[in-house]
Amino acid sequence: MRQDEPVDLEPYRGELVAYCYRMLGSYHEAEDLVQETMLRAWKARDRYDRTRASVRTWLYRIATNACLTALEGRARRPLPSGLGAPSDDPGEPLTPVLDISWLQPFPDARFDVEVRADMRLALVAAMQVLPPRQRAVLVLREVLEFTAAEVAGQLGTTTAAVNSALQRARAGLAEAGGMEEVAEPDDPEARAVLQLYVRAFEAADVPALVRLLTDEAILEMPPVPLWFRGSRDYGLFMERVFAMRGTGWRMRHLTANGQPALAAYAPEPGGGHRLHTLQVFTVTGGRIAHNVVFADPHVFEAFELPRQISSDELRRPR
């Protein structure tokens, strides 16, 4: 390509971050790999041939290679529910396990709506079970809608191999779960459920919280490896939370992975509230079916959440 024909890479940054996030399960690693992708593309710009591939297709080839290299020999990023059976003791010690690289949520507010399609947390968790190349084929073909020939070029393989990998990826994803339909954050029913949940949580009204749950509701809290299934254990655990951390919590609405989410602020003895968790909800049939509660400070940074809220801020309309 001639030097007087510059390639504008920046318009693709957001969708590349979303792609690398789906591959890696980590927002921070995705940002780093996209920066690496942009640097590689800039250094190789003189060798780019626009007659052979669009800029977008070319960039995804570079990003895919970067992701596959990063994933070599690495364990998948799980959620607690992907590691074993649920706990039957809501009073069990909450001991974090920090030597596991946990799946992280995706901060929707930092990206355009189009970038956030098919980003459900359960779906991304299920994708992590697939071998990396199958994962790449699935996202490139099913989510980003590249042709089989384009994906073959990006992966340096054949169209037949891509089609075979896609069939295996679909089967693996169906077996791992994560295919269920969930309500979007702007769905009126989902908004109403979250409003009721906030009201009950801020009032420490556990029976009201439980009434908003499905019978088999799941609660999990990475980096604590425990998880609970069923509205009864969910309620017992929430009673424990309020007994430990007090009442008078405050919640802020946001979205993550295209799902409704809340930032939970616990009361501090001297006044004001401190950020405690980021909670990502799956709402189905007008009830909460799943709540993944993140307490990782790196997650808070990705969502640019204030660590403390003063009493004055709490009095402002939310």
Rounded Cα gap, residues 77 and 298, in angstroms: 15
Please write the tens of the pLDDT for every residue from 43-99. Answer: 988 888 888 889 999 999 999 999 999 999 999 999 999 999 999 999 999 999 999
Instruction: Please state, rounded to an integer, the average pLDDT across all residues of the chain.
Output: 91
CATH number, residue 302: 3.10.450.50
Phi/psi at 266 (5° precision): -85, 145
Q: Can you read off the two tokens belonging to residue 279?
A: 């909670």
pLDDT class for 175, splitting at 50, 70, 90? confident
Rounded Cα gap, residues 216 and 230, in angstroms: 4
Residue 24 inside a domain? The answer is no
Distances (CA, A) of 99 to 102, 116, 222, 223, 224: 9, 29, 12, 9, 11
Query: Given this model, what pLDDT does residue 1 score?
Result: 43
Rounded Cα gap, residues 87 and 113, in angstroms: 36
Mapped onto helix, strand or coil, the DSSP state of residue 172 is: helix
Query: Given this model, what pLDDT does residue 50 score?
Result: 83
Rounded Cα gap, residues 207 and 185, in angstroms: 24
What is the pTM for the complete model shown?
Answer: 0.92
Domain carrying residue 305 = 188-315
Rounded Cα gap, residues 181 and 196, in angstroms: 22
Average pLDDT value for residue range 145-159: 95
Residue 292 inside a domain? The answer is yes
Residue 161 inside a domain? The answer is no
Residue 218 inside a domain? The answer is yes
Residue 148 inside a domain? The answer is no
Query: Given this model, what pLDDT does residue 133 score?
Result: 97
Residue 1 inside a domain? The answer is no
Residue 178 inside a domain? The answer is no
Rounded Cα gap, residues 124 and 25, in angstroms: 7
Rounded Cα gap, residues 157 and 155, in angstroms: 6
- Does the structure show a pLDDT above 90 at 34? yes
Rounded Cα gap, residues 288 and 93, in angstroms: 25
Q: Can you read off the two tokens belonging to residue 127?
A: 């994708």
Considering only CA atoms, give the Rg of the chain.
Answer: 21
Return the DSSP state at 85: P
Residue 277 inside a domain? The answer is yes
Q: How many domains does the chain fold into?
A: 1
